[in-house]
Structures are given as structure tokens and as C-alpha cells.
A and B are shown apart, each in its own frame.
Chain A
Amino acid sequence: MATVQAGGALVAVKAAKDFQGRIGQPIAAHVPARICHLFDARTGVRLTRT
């Protein structure tokens, strides 16, 4: 599991077993819209999932 700081939070992303990452190394994560959930920023209530 790789963790990055993004969007003001710690964000975890599953990595392949053989992934060799070092702290500080730049990486990219594929986060397609279909896996995302949207919530109201103020109330926290679910808006939608595309």
C-alpha cells in the first residue's frame, strides 16, 4: 500500500506486491471517475457516484 499526500489528506493506493517505492519518490495513481464517490463538502451527505 502506497500513501501520498493529496487534496489535504493522506491518500492510500493499492500497489502491486513487487512495487518497489521509496519515500519521496514521485508516483502516479489511476483513480477513474467510476470508482469515485462525491459528498457534500459541508454536510458530508452523499451526492452521487458516477
Chain B
Amino acid sequence: MADIQLKSLTKRWGAFVGLKPMDLHIGDGEFLVLLGPSGCGKTTTMRMIAGLEDASGGDILIGGKRVNDLEPKDRDIAMVFQSYGLYPTMTVYENIRFPLKVRGIPEAEHHDRVMRAARTVELTEFLDRKPAALSGGQRQRVALARAIVRKPKVFLMDEPLSNLDAKLRVSTRAQIKNLHHELRTTTIYVTHDQIEAMTLADRVVVMSRGEVQQVGTPLEIYDRPANTFVAGFIGSPAMNLMQGTLKGGVFEAEHVRIPGLAGPDGPVTLGFRAEDASIAATGEIAAPIYAMELLGDA
């Protein structure tokens, strides 16, 4: 296991800035999620840590050692991708065993380590099958087993649940969470899905347009969004955001009057979460219904 430090890490392609200077310390054993929409720089950041992409500037340290100039295979990391990356001609057993053969781990250890990894992700009954004979969730578990079999210092996971249907995503997400609880391996997980981020992460890094918007625990980010991007990106439904004017502690906008606020007079954006407000006989917002939706609990 190891901590990871990013010091002024940047990425540029010509004039295009893919990642503005990023400073981050990821603790030993931490589960950190890079969260943001497409093009925000999250995958670029992960690929630089993995060594699949050169950094344009800054340093990457794993376990206190600068790794910028090391080949991916020499960084002692394991990656899991959304596309699984399994060898179709190999059985599940052979797929899991493959990293041990490549790295020259003594053959005498292979069977025990493959079986332990297979048990961890509940694959022991599928070891003789080829990937084509597995469901999407089972294939992703093979990819997870292949990642954990050689006990790397760091796991990097790039949207590993994106190819799974909604039900499988929930169960595989729970397995990843349990896996991290068991192994305590430092993990960086990339996703655009804020529910994955909020349920899996010790800390979340919210990114947009190549820039970190906020770093915090899921609760901190939910309760105290640093800006309107984070407020609008986190939560389902997203936070309501309205433009209006604050004067003497009273926010006013079309159909809205909310007193008792503290802030400077002038134009502001006001936000609140749908689940914190309620329908009432009288209230701070008065307007005709635009739409009604049944969401199960409301």
C-alpha cells in the first residue's frame, strides 16, 4: 500500500489545457473518487498516474517515490477499465493468473493466489469458463480479481461499472466497496456518476473543465457545495438554483420571497435541495405546478 501525491500536475496538448495545476494528497488506503462530466480531466489525471499519459508539468509520487519517468509496469499499480480488458481465449482462471506469469511470480504461488482472488470476488464456480460465457458483471469481477491477484500498491478504476445494467451496477458497486474494506488498498476511481462517487468514496474530487472544483467527503460536498457547478452536479435531483436579488437579508425573485438570509446586498444565486423543502398552505414560493413526478418516496 502507498500514499499518492500530485504536485502541480498539469496536462496540455498544444494550446489546449487538459488539466490545470492540480495538488492532491491521497492517503494510504484511501478510496478517492474523481468525479465530473466528460472532458473534465478526470481520466487524463488517472492516465498520468498510471503512466499511460505523460504529464506536461508537475510531479507524481507513489509511496514517496517520484514515478513520472517510470513505465506503467514499474509503478506497481493495477487498472480496471469499463471494457474489462479480458483475454477471450483464456479461461477465467488463466485470465486471473496472467499478471502473475507476466511479473515472474514463482509458479508455486500461482494457484493459491488465483483461488484467493477468485474467492474474494465470488468467482470460484466460473474458473473454467471463457469470458464469452460470462455476464457483464461476472466479467468485471474477473477484471477485479486480475487486479487484486498480484497485490499492487494502488488500484486505478476507470468507470468500471459503466457497461453494466442498473441492477448489476448496484451489486458490483457493493462488491467494490466490500473489496476495499477487506484489502484497504489505495484506490483512485473515475466516474461521471455522482451516486457511485457518493456511495464509494472516502473523499470526492469534483472536476470541471480541467480544474478541481472541490475536494471533500461526500457529506461535505453535498452539504456545503463550493460553487454552483458542484451544487448542480451533486444530488438527485440536483440542487434548485435561482437567480434573484438579496436586500436586507431577503431574497426576492419571480414567485419567490425568502427572508432571514445573511449575505451581501445585490444579485445572488440561491440554492436549496428539493428534499429539504415541502409543500405547505403558505410558503416562500408561490407558483402554479409545472409538472408532477412520482419518484417512489415523494
Which A residues contact B (CB, under 8 angstroms)? 1-17, 19, 21-50
Contact = CB atoms under 8 A, between A and B. Distances in A.
Given A36-B258, A37-B225, A6 B285 contact: yes
7 contacts: A2-B289, A6-B287, A9-B243, A26-B288, A27-B286, A27-B288, A29-B279
Interface string B19-58: 0000000000000000000000000000000000000000
Nearest to B267: A41
B246 interface: yes
Given A6-B256, A31-B258, A39-B231, A19 B279 contact: yes
Nearest to A23: B289
Given A7-B256, A21-B289, A36-B271, A1 B298 contact: yes
A49 to B, nearest CB: 7
Nearest to B250: A33
A23 B291 contact: yes
Given A4-B255, A33-B261, A35-B272, A25 B288 contact: yes
Interface residues of B, number: 59
Contact of A24 (B227, B262, B286, B288): B288
B104 interface: no
A14 to B, nearest CB: 4
Interface stretch (B107-115, B158-166, B181-189, B234-242): B234-242
A24 to B, nearest CB: 5
B291 A44 contact: no
Nearest to B276: A35
Contacts of B125: none
A34 B273 CA distance: 11
B251 A15 contact: no
